């Protein structure tokens, strides 16, 4: 039950921030939070990470189908994995996947808003769902890489389910 709550809270946070951005900003408009470092903007990414497949008319359908399958797999994994930390990471991943899937269905693309600049380098714009995906993946991978072996940590990379 707690993992369903984590998923629902992640989706709610993602969609609330996106709705606020949609209501208050025009496409491409910048709201400066920290000058020359952090802005909030509104952009709809019609592709995947870094706008991959954005120029392809069929891309949105492929990405939506992949996202739907990934969400089902993540939900199955959340409830079939015994390790609590892995379940937490998978729950965050499911929340992020669901948040971006909702956007693909509603807006035919993913609403992104967080824009960071490091000098002349502009990091790709991202959203709360992306944060959930990255943090969940890091938790899952890092925890899974420390497999228990007779009470001692085995630092080989591998999945500990």
Q: Which residues are tagged catalytic?
A: 112, 130
Rounded CA gap, 111 and 22, in Å?
8
Rounded CA gap, 83 and 76, in Å?
14
Residue 57, burial from CB neighbour count under 10 angstroms (0-12, 13-18, 19+): exposed
Judge contact between 10 and 89, C-beta under 8 A.
no
| Nearest to 160, CA basis, from 74, 69, 84, 93 | 84
DSSP run (H or E) holding 111: strand 110-118
SS3 category, 105: helix
């Amino acid at each position: 039950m707690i993992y369903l709550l984590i998923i629902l809270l992640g989706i709610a946070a993602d969609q609330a921030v996106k709705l606020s951005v949609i209501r208050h900003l025009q496409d491409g408009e910048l709201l400066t939070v920290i000058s020359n470092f952090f802005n909030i903007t509104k952009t709809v990414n019609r592709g995947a990470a870094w706008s991959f497949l954005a120029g392809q008319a069929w891309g949105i359908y492929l990405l939506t189908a992949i996202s739907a399958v990934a969400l089902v797999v993540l939900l199955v994994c959340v409830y079939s994995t015994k390790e609590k930390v892995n379940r937490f990471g998978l729950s965050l991943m499911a929340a992020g996947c669901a948040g971006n899937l909702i956007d693909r269905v509603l807006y035919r693309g993913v609403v992104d808003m967080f824009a960071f600049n490091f000098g002349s380098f502009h990091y790709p714009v991202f959203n709360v769902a992306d944060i959930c995906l990255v943090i969940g993946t890091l938790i899952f991978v890092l925890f899974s890489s420390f497999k228990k072996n007779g009470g001692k940590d085995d630092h080989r990379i591998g999945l500990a389910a």
